[in-house]
């Protein structure tokens, strides 16, 4: 659709801001919606949703904090109902791989009257460079459960590129695009890759989920975040996702980024430099 107007819900988030940047770089009209935008969009305030959707042709939707959490099905149902009334033509929904609750949300959108594409993803590589594993990596010790589980970590920029294609191209219609990175690696191997890339001695320490949640509680991490992390570690990182797909290569015409390449690129930015100041030994 030429001259389409694009809505990005979660336009300041992990994938949302990357999709916004790409749409704007191509000269498209974009409404980046968040709690601070005008019109504002807050998942806890459905009275705001119609104003955000009004006049939009296509939308990229990310549900905060995750489609697996209680209340997501009701929220997606209501959002789709409003989107149908406001005349939205296409919806691209970010979903989580191996999450039954997320798949229920997918069906709600796919069974609507709106052309829907599901972008179903695994764990992000940027969890180690931008989000909750960054500080432990900088400190030199990452403690986490599920030591042996192998995960096809995926690059956020790859996800954003696929989401962009799903929004722009009519050949992607009423389907599920399941994305993974090219490699199955566990947390110990991730830390080893980062250590090699940075030249630092970073350690991985396997812990039980009980020890991990206690540690998060001691750090005063919000309870809803602890619930989500516990869910992901116990119900998703159980080996069910220990397989890869070729979807990124099929959509983008190039291979998905490997974790090794990602680690080398991030190391050059200094993001993983030690958080502990080096003192002279006088």
What is the DSSP secondary-structure string of the chain?
A: -TT-EEEEETTTSTTHHHHHHHHHHTT-EEEEE-TTSSS---TT-GGGHHHHHTT-SEEEE--SS-TTSTTHHHHHHHHHHHHHHHT--EEEEEEETT-HHHHHHHHHHHTSSSEEEEEEE--BGGGGTTSTTHHHHHHTEEEES-TT--B--B-HHHHHHHHHHHHH-TTS-SEEEE---S--B-HHHHHHHHHHHHT---EEEE--HHHHHHHHHHTT--HHHHHHHHHIIIIISSSTT-----HHHHHHSSPPPPHHHHHHHHHTTTTTS-SSPP----
pLDDT at 239: 92
pLDDT at 2: 63
* Residues 148-171: b if buried by 16+ CB within 10 A, e if exposed: ebbbbbbbbebbbbbbbbbbbeee
pLDDT at 280: 36
pLDDT at 209: 93
pLDDT at 225: 86
Q: What is the pLDDT along the chain (282 residues), one digit of tens a residue?
A: 568 999 999 999 999 999 999 999 999 999 999 999 999 999 999 999 999 999 999 999 999 999 999 999 999 999 999 999 999 999 999 999 999 999 999 999 999 999 999 999 999 999 999 998 999 999 999 999 999 999 999 999 999 999 999 999 999 999 999 999 999 999 999 999 999 999 999 999 999 999 999 999 998 988 888 998 899 998 899 999 999 999 999 999 999 999 999 999 999 999 999 865 444 333
Domains plus CATH for the chain?
5-122+154-180+242-256 (3.40.50.720)
pLDDT at 278: 43
217 vs 81: CA distance, rounded Å: 38
pLDDT at 270: 97
């Amino acid at each position: 659709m030429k001259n389409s107007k694009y809505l990005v819900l979660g336009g300041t988030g992990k994938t949302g801001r990357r999709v916004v940047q790409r749409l704007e770089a191509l000269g498209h009209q974009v409404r980046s919606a968040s709690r601070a935008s005008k019109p504002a969009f807050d998942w806890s305030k459905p009275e705001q949703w119609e104003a955000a959707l009004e006049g939009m042709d296509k939308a990229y939707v990310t549900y905060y904090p995750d489609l697996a959490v209680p209340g997501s099905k009701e929220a997606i149902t209501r959002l789709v109902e409003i989107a149908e009334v406001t005349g939205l033509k296409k919806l691209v929904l970010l979903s989580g791989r191996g999450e039954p609750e997320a798949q229920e949300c997918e069906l709600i959108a796919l069974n609507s009257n709106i052309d829907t594409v599901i972008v179903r993803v695994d764990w992000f590589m940027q969890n180690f460079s931008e989000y909750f594993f960054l500080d432990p990596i900088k400190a030199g010790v990452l403690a986490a459960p599920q030591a042996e589980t192998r995960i096809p970590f995926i690059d956020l920029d790859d996800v954003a590129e696929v989401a962009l294609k799903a929004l722009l191209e009519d050949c992607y219609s009423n389907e599920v695009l399941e994305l993974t990175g090219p490699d199955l690696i566990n947390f110990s191997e991730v830390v080893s890759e980062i250590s090699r890339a940075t030249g630092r001695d970073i350690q991985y320490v396997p812990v039980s989920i009980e020890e991990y949640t206690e540690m998060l509680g001691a750090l005063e991490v919000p309870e809803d975040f602890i619930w989500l992390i516990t869910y992901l570690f116990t119900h998703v990182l159980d080996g069910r996702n220990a397989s890869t797909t070729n979807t990124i290569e099929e959509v983008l015409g190039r291979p998905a980024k490997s974790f090794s390449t990602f680690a080398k690129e991030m190391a050059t930015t200094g993001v993983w430099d030690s958080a502990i100041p080096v003192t002279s030994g006088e």
